[in-house]
Amino acid sequence: MNYNEALSYLLGLGHEVLAAKFRLENIQTLLEALGNPQHYFHSLLIAGTNGKGSVAAMLDAVLREAGLRSGLYTSPHLVRIEERMRVGGEMISPDEFARCATLIRHTAERLVAEKRLTTVPTFFEQVTAIALHHFKESGVELAVLEVGLGGRLDATNAVERLLAIVTPIAFDHQNILGNTIAEIAAEKAAIIQGQVKTVLARQAYQEAEEVLRKRCDAVGVTPVWVKPPVNLRLTEFGKPMFEYHSTKASAYKVKCGLRGRHQADNAVTVIEACETLSQLGYSITRSAIVAGLEKVAWAGRLEVINREPLWLLDGAHNCAGATVLKEFLQENWSGHITLILAVMRDKDVQGIAAELFPLAARIIFTQVDEWRGASFAEVTAKLSASNQAIHFAEGVEAALDEANALTPVDGLIVVAGSLYLVGAVKKILQSDQHQTKSENR
């Protein structure tokens, strides 16, 4: 298959969430048939509700700063599927992606023909296998793997890990993971396994902390619990500077490259992870940790696009994420805000709206070209009590045009509610004839 054929084939397998089969047998069988590429490097597995992508990006940046050959696997992508798998900070090339995808497809179809599988693996399972095979062939030393959804039955959980990291747990994907924090936490805590070093971020919910503690006790693991940063202040439109005294008695002064007060908590999680890796024999100096955290960039997370008016893109898609975005705006912006919003129909629209709508002078709702995208009628039905006018734009490009027309040049256009929306907006802005500059570091 060429690149376009490979992409078409993978997308034809169905949506990575709606068509997912949450079990490990398929991915385990597929990886075994590929010669278990995951055994050729050590993996660092990251689960959680919010912050796992940022922690993954930070950790990868530090590993590269330390001179280690790292692989990074994240989801979903914003513009191109190749964003999901990077080696040494570089995305897999389209030709290499097509080559790996062809191998995985042929292997999957052979397994079905041999009746070792009843159906071909899903989109996410095959993309995970592509990433792991690419990492093997690229000579990766350490692979940073972000769990796709949950943890217990996510395809990434088939990989043996050197280190398990759990970021803050909150409500999300309740239709799959459970309706209580305890149920959701149990799914994510399953990445913690016996004999595996574990780093646990501070939790907002006591129930989540209790589940994590019980899991560690059950498998005989003594985790590292991350402490809060100290002397935290914000500079450069919301970039945190702070100090941290690690559990291993090391002192740090850090300026984080990602915006938002919450990124300080993600950064100290990375500090503890890197110090744990150092104990395991990896040469990661304090200066490499500080430099990596300062240089890290992560698209779609409080990402600034320097235009007139100014743009802020954030993938906040649940109440916890919307709260973080609200607090960032309250602390760092006092002018006009136009909000462009699109959400998935399985999300808490009312909760997201309660956090973000009061900040906006104008609210423009649009629907992304995605199976789960909520329609204007679905959203307004849930927001009948809202006293703010919501404008509907037919398509993302129309929403951008309307926002540009209605927002003063010294105002701010905020894009939120879905990473799919952020990806669509980035694609349009990148193709715009006007010069733009993305700046989040």
CATH of the domain at 197: 3.40.1190.10
174 pLDDT exceeds 70?
yes
CA 306 – CA 310 distance, rounded (Å): 6
- Distance, CA of 116 to CA of 110 (rounded, Å): 9
* Spatial separation of the C-alpha atoms in residues 239 and 258, rounded to whole Å: 6
Return the amino acid letter for 335. Answer: G
Give, for 165, the enclosing helix (H) or strand (E): strand 163-166
Give yes or no for residue 86 having a pLDDT over 60.
Answer: yes
- Mean pLDDT to the nearest integer, 12-17: 78
CATH number at residue 354: 3.90.190.20
Do 20 and 43 belong together in one domain? yes
Q: How many domains does the chain have?
A: 2
Domain with 353 in it: 303-439
pLDDT of 440: 46
CA distance 342 to 326: 16
| Mean pLDDT, rounded, of the chain | 92
Looking at the structure, do residues 201 and 344 belong to the same domain, yes or no?
no
Length of the chain: 441
What is the distance, to the nearest Å, from the Cα of residue 45 to the centroid of all Cα atoms in its chain? 13
Average of per-residue pLDDT across 157-179: 91
pLDDT on residue 358: 94
Alpha helices in 220-348 (DSSP H): 262-279, 286-295, 319-332
Same domain, 263 and 384: no
Mean pLDDT computed over 150-156: 93
How confident is the model over 358-363, as a mean pLDDT? Answer: 95
The pTM of this model reads 0.93
Using the predicted structure, report yes or no on whether residue 309 has a pLDDT greater than 70. yes
Residue 300's closest CA among 342, 258, 261? 258
The pLDDT score that the predictor gives to residue 441 is 35
148 and 179, same domain (yes or no):
yes
Whether 118 and 77 map to the same domain: the answer is yes
Condensed to tens digits (0 to 9), the pLDDT of residues 259-286 reads 999 999 999 999 999 999 999 999 999 9
Residue 377's pLDDT band (cuts 50, 70, 90): confident
**21 confidence band (pLDDT: 50, 70, 90):** low
Q: Is 403 left (phi over 0), alpha (psi -120 to 50) or beta?
A: alpha
Contact 198, 279 (CB under 8 A): no
Residue finishing a domain among 234, 262, 295: 295
194-231 pLDDT per residue, tens: 999 999 999 999 999 999 999 999 999 999 999 999 99
What does the pLDDT read at residue 294?
Answer: 98
Tell me: cis bond preceding 94? Omega within 30 of 0 counts. no
pLDDT given for residue 23 in this prediction: 81
